[in-house]
Amino acid sequence: MKLTSLLVGIGLFLSSCGSTDSAPELSYETNKQADIQQIKRDYQNFDLVASDQDTVFRSIDLYNAIENLQEIKSNPIIAVIDARFDINQRGIRERIWQAPPGIDTRCSGSTNGCNTSMYELNDSQYGNDNFELGSGFCSFSDSACYHGTAVAGLAVGYETGLEVLGVCPVCELLPLRVADDNGDIKDEAIIGALRYISNLKQQGVPVRVINSSFGKFIDSEKVALSIKELPGIRDTLIVAAAGNENTSRRSYPAGFENVISVASVDLFTNRKSVFSNYGSWVDIAAPSGVSNQWLDGISDSFRLDGTSFSAPLVSGVAGLVLSQEPELKAKDLRARLLATADAQALYGQGKNPAYLVSTDGQQVPMLGTGVVNANNAVTGTITATPQAEKQIKAMCGAIGIHSSSYLGLLLLVLGPFVITLRKGDSDAA
């Protein structure tokens, strides 16, 4: 069954869930005429390489999605809000967005991203250009470097002739650093990043997806209101990691309304990762456990586990869809991803039975509608279960704001290491 309209078929209830925002105006053209045939050849060649990354791509049906790409109608910009980035790293160095002449970034000295870690709410500038290392080498001990760099690479990594591939090779990367030198992330830094994006969108720059691979259990009214009220942010798809504490407790920003919350499943079995958070607030699942292909100087045996590395797979799939259908609104794109996720892969054949909770005679999914499926999303093939449909409808508008605090950073990484950037003292409301 083809997804010719999201108001038909299983119908993900857009009239009751989505905003009334109009589609963003794409007055700023980012369409770099990609050599789509070369991209397809590169992914076909990578398909022959046995690796964890190849397994990831197979598990989300990326190879078929790449093969089914038609004319590239736009190069969607994916903003990655994270710690630090090495923008000279192979695989992402050619994906960095560059502000064209006439665009006022309001970020001192920078035309291709911003460090908003020191932003205060009354500042006229959002930040500065100290957001990257730029050496092409991430130290094994520098978790802030390899976290941001790997997340970015998973979403958009691609370089012709190099076997360093991400999910959306036709997307561009907008790196936004929100962690200060002590590893702290405050509300103001996140708001600065959102205001930076809002400013660009008001000038016609098509930032279409925001990836947030960080979180904390305490929500923030200031951040929630920024997501809801800033011009252009509401019509930008926000994807966030659900967290790595193996709890149903809601994590933020993943728990905010209209943010896609991503749980992690095992790379080989699609069973819930032992660390992944879960709950009715989770929207979709994706694998983690990828090998380090973007990070020169770190052992090839080093694996990156955690919902941090599941979220950018979903962001990348969103970018692929937008490259084919740039007119899609954020609410329609969200519905497309959830409706085309592979429910059978997540819940079929007795998988994850503990995460289908019976409530009033219905099974409520606790890991989302299914495992993100790139080919289904690009081609519009609906696979979500009726139970998942009902849960999507039931979740609309169900997230409340309870308190005001600053959002300290816990980078969502598990595996051989738990990487934690220090949390600061709480601010008063």
Amino acid at 165: L
Q: Is the pLDDT of residue 348 over 50?
A: yes
Burial class (CB in 10 A: 0-12, 13-18, 19+), 154: buried
CA 309 to chain CA centroid, nearest Å = 9
Sequence-separated (6 or more) residues with CB below 8 Å from residue 94: 158, 159
Q: In whole angstroms, give the CA distance from residue 292 to residue 307.
A: 16
Q: In whole angstroms, give the CA distance from residue 278 to residue 248.
A: 5
- The pLDDT of residue 139: 67
The model's pLDDT over 88-103, given as tens digits with 9 standing for 90+, comes to 888 888 999 999 999 9
Interstrand relation of 303-304 and 356-359 (parallel, antiparallel or unpaired) = unpaired
- Neighbour-count burial for 196-209, b at 16+ CB within 10 Å, e otherwise: bbbbbbeeebbbbb
Q: In whole angstroms, give the CA distance from residue 367 to residue 378.
A: 22
Q: Is the pLDDT of residue 10 over 50?
A: no
Q: Is the pLDDT of residue 14 over 50?
A: no
Q: In whole angstroms, give the CA distance from residue 154 to residue 169.
A: 10
**Cβ 52 vs Cβ 267: under 8 Å:** yes
* For the ranges 10-24, 34-48, 126-140, 248-262, the one whose mean pLDDT is highest: 248-262
- Neighbour-count burial for 334-360, b at 16+ CB within 10 Å, e otherwise: bbbbbbbbbbebbbeeebbeebbeeee
The model's pLDDT over 297-331, given as tens digits with 9 standing for 90+, comes to 555 556 788 999 999 999 999 999 999 999 999 99
User: In CATH, which superfamily holds the domain spanning 14-411?
Assistant: Peptidase S8/S53 domain (3.40.50.200)
Across 116-120, 291-295, 336-340, 425-429, least confident range? 425-429
CA 209 to chain CA centroid, nearest Å = 7
- The pLDDT of residue 8: 25
Sequence-separated (6 or more) residues with CB below 8 Å from residue 110: 127, 128, 129, 131
CA 218 to chain CA centroid, nearest Å = 20
In degrees rounded to 5, what are phi and psi of residue 331?
-65, -35
The model's pLDDT over 42-77, given as tens digits with 9 standing for 90+, comes to 999 887 766 778 889 999 999 999 999 999 999 999
Q: In whole angstroms, give the CA distance from residue 401 to residue 17.
A: 17
The model's pLDDT over 213-246, given as tens digits with 9 standing for 90+, comes to 999 898 899 999 999 999 999 899 999 999 999 9
Which has the closest alpha carbon to 117: 186, 169, 60? 186
Q: In whole angstroms, give the CA distance from residue 184 to residue 423.
A: 5
- The pLDDT of residue 184: 85
- The pLDDT of residue 112: 86
